[in-house]
Structure 1
Amino acid sequence: MSESEPDQVAERPRVLVGVDGSKDGLRAVRYALRVAESTGTDLWVVNVVDELAPMSGMWDVVLAPEILHRAGEAAVAEALSLVAAEGFPAERVTGEVLVGRPGDLLAELSGRARLLVVGRRSAGGLERMFVGSTSLSAAMHAACPVIVISASSTPQDTGDRGVVAVAVSTRPIHESALEWGVREAVERGARLRVVHVVPETLGVEGAGFVAAATAGLEEHVAPLRQRHPEVGVEVEVLLGDPVDALVAESRAVDLLILGVHHHAVLGGSIRGVMAHSHSPVGLIR
C-alpha cells in the first residue's frame, strides 16, 4: 500500500474499486477482478479514511485517526489477499489507503480509471431500503462508468444469465448507456435487452404508449443490430411502476445499466433501483 504511484502504473488502464472492510466491499472486489481479467486492465484497490466521520451508535463517537488507518489497511490487505488467491498478477494490482470523503475522493480518482466499482453497504433492517452515502456520492460525480453491487441483494455469483439490460427513456435515449451496454454484451457474449417502462399512471392510454414506445425503440436499435450482428438485441417495453419493473427485471440479468443525463441529480427512480436491484447496477453519464 502506497501513498503515491509510479507514473507508468498510473498511465495503464485500470479498474478502480473502493473497499471498506464490508461484505459489499469484497463483493465489489470480486466483480472488479473479473472485469480486470476479461479486459486485461490493472486493478486499483482503494480505501478512503474519513477521519471526521463518526461511528454510529447510541452516541456518535469519533475514532482516533490511527485506528481508522489501521482498519483501512486491514480492508485493503483483505482485498489484496482475495485477489492474490485468484491468481491475478501482483504487478497489476495497486492498493492504497487515502484520506478524504470516501464518495468524493473515489469520484475524483475515477478520472484515472476506465471503471469504478463500489459496494452498496447496508447493515440490515431499514438500512437495506436506502443507498449508502459513499456509493451514491461516487455514482453522482464519477468521471467514468460506475458499477454498484450489494452482497445483501446479490449474494449469488453474477454473470450466468447471459443478458445485459439497458433501461432507457425515449426522450432522449441515452446513447452512452446503449453503447456501454453493447460493449458489455460483446465482452460477455451476452444478449442486450433495451428496456423502457411506461408509468402505469397513464391508465387506459398506457397500452397505446407501450405500442408507440416499442415501435420507436425498434426503429432506434435497428442500426445497432446491423452494426453488431453477433449481439442479440431485444426490445422490452413494460407498463408499471418504473422502480418495481426494473427491480423485477434485475432478477433475470447480469447487469442493469441506467443512463444519468448530464447535470442531473440521481432521481428517486434511480435511487430506488440502486437500493433494491438483484443484479449489479451500472451508471453512466
Structure 2
Amino acid sequence: MREVVGVDGSEPALEAVRWAAVDAWLHRRSLRLVCAVPQAPEPAGPGLDEIKAERPRWLSEAVTAARAAAKGMEFEQVLRHGMPGEVLLDESQEAERLVVGTRGLNEVTGVRLALGSTAELVAMRSRCPVVVVPDSAGREDARTGPVIVGVDGSRVGEPALGAAYEEASLRGAPLVAVHVWSDVATDEWFGPGSADWEAIRVDQERVLAERLAGWEAKYPDVSVERVVARDRPVRFLVEHGAGAQLIVVGSRGRGGITGMLIGSTSRALLHCAPCPVLVVRAP
C-alpha cells in the first residue's frame, strides 16, 4: 500500500509532503513523492528549460522535508513526464491516498496559483481518496485537534464516515460528527417561514444517530461529539474546522448527480477550509 504526494517546488507542496509523511506513517504505508515534468509546447514557453532543470532539486527538498516529519521512513521519489494533474490522476489508480497542497506553481511560468487547477482537478477525478492540505496545516492545533466529519444522512456518505472513524482512531483524536441542514432546503418543502424547526431538529438528530450507530460499535475507542445545526454546511464546517486537524467529507451528497465525483459542499471546502480536507469517493 502506498500514499502519493505531489511535489511542485512550492511551500504549500512541501507542507503537503510533511503532512503526507506523517499520515503514511500512521497508516503504515509507503510514500511516493511525484514531480511532473511538463512536455514543452512549440515554441517552448519562457523559462521552461530552467523550470525542468529544477525538478530534481524540488524532489530532494521534498525528501528532506518528509524525513524530518517522519523519521525512519523510506521514500520513493519519481519524475514523470506530463502535466501535473494528469500525472497525479494516473498515480491515483494504484494509490491508497493522494495528497496535494492547496496552491502550487504554474507548470510553465512558475507563478503561484490559487486552488482551482491541479488540486481541484484531482479532487474531482481521482480514483482514490484525496487530501488537500492548506498552508496552515503545520500549526500546533492542526496536530492535536479533533477530526470532523460531515454527515448528510445518505448511504453514499458511509465511506466518508468509515474513513473519519479510522482517522480519529489512528490519531487518538475525538470525532465531531456534524449534520447540518439549511433553511433554504427546508423552505423548498414547507414554504418560506412555515417550517417547525424543533420538529426538524429532532428528526435530524435521529438521522445522525442512525448513521453513527454501526460505526460507534466498530470503533469504541473513539470519543464522538454529535452536532446538529441549522446552517449552511460549508460555513459551519469552515468555522468549526479552525481548530481541527482534519475534515472528512464524501465526494457526493444526497443531491449528487451520477457521474459527478465531487459535490458542491466538498468542492467549496477545498477553497476555504482552514485544515486539511479528506475527500472520500462515494461508490
Measured in 2, the distance between the counterparts of 1:160 and 1:260 equals 25
The question of whether the paired residues in 2 share the 8 Å contact of 1:129 and 1:275 is answered with no
The question of whether the paired residues in 2 share the 8 Å contact of 1:14 and 1:41 is answered with yes
Matched, 1:216 2:211: no
Cα distance, 1:220–1:82 mapped onto 2, change above 3 Å: closer
Q: Which moved more, 1:235-244 or 1:261-270?
A: 261-270
Partner of 1:30: helix, strand, or coil? helix
Partner of 1:113: helix, strand, or coil? coil
Equivalent position of 1:193 in the other structure: 176
Q: Which moved more, 1:167-176 or 1:20-29?
A: 167-176
Equivalent position of 2:12 in the other structure: 24
Measured in 1, the distance between the counterparts of 2:243 and 2:160 equals 19
Q: Give the unaligned 5+ runs of structure 1.
A: 1-12, 55-60
The question of whether the paired residues in 2 share the 8 Å contact of 1:69 and 1:97 is answered with no
Partner of 1:197: helix, strand, or coil? strand
The question of whether the paired residues in 1 share the 8 Å contact of 2:33 and 2:77 is answered with yes
Matched, 1:160 2:144: yes
Matched, 1:69 2:52: yes
Measured in 2, the distance between the counterparts of 1:211 and 1:49 equals 54
Measured in 1, the distance between the counterparts of 2:112 and 2:202 equals 36
Matches within 5 A, 1:48-87: 48-52=36-40, 62-63=45-46, 65-86=48-69
Equivalent position of 2:108 in the other structure: none
The question of whether the paired residues in 2 share the 8 Å contact of 1:128 and 1:275 is answered with no
TM-score (norm 1): 0.82
Equivalent position of 1:116 in the other structure: 98
TM-score (norm 2): 0.83
Cα distance, 1:154–1:86 mapped onto 2, change above 3 Å: closer
The question of whether the paired residues in 2 share the 8 Å contact of 1:165 and 1:195 is answered with yes
The question of whether the paired residues in 1 share the 8 Å contact of 2:102 and 2:132 is answered with yes
The question of whether the paired residues in 2 share the 8 Å contact of 1:104 and 1:141 is answered with no
Equivalent position of 2:216 in the other structure: 225
Please tell me the root mean square deviation across aligned C-alpha atoms, in Å: 2.6
Cα distance, 1:156–1:50 mapped onto 2, change above 3 Å: same
The question of whether the paired residues in 2 share the 8 Å contact of 1:131 and 1:271 is answered with no
The question of whether the paired residues in 1 share the 8 Å contact of 2:266 and 2:279 is answered with no
Identity over aligned residues, as a percent?
29
The question of whether the paired residues in 1 share the 8 Å contact of 2:2 and 2:32 is answered with yes
Matches within 5 A, 1:89-100: 89=72, 92-100=74-82
Equivalent position of 2:255 in the other structure: none
1:242-263 per-position Cα deviation (integer Å, ceiling 9, x unaligned)? 2211111211321101101362
Structure 1 letter corresponding to 2:31: L
| Cα deviation, residue 40, structure 1 | 2.6
- TM superposition outliers: structure 1 runs of 4+ over 4 Å: 127-130
Q: Give the unaligned 5+ runs of structure 2.
A: 106-110, 187-191, 253-257
| Cα deviation, residue 63, structure 1 | 3.4
The question of whether the paired residues in 2 share the 8 Å contact of 1:154 and 1:279 is answered with yes
Cα distance, 1:239–1:98 mapped onto 2, change above 3 Å: same
Partner of 1:63: helix, strand, or coil? coil
Matched, 1:238 2:226: no
Cα distance, 1:165–1:32 mapped onto 2, change above 3 Å: same
Number of equivalences: 261
Matched, 1:44 2:32: yes
Partner of 1:174: helix, strand, or coil? helix
Structure 2 letter corresponding to 1:271: R
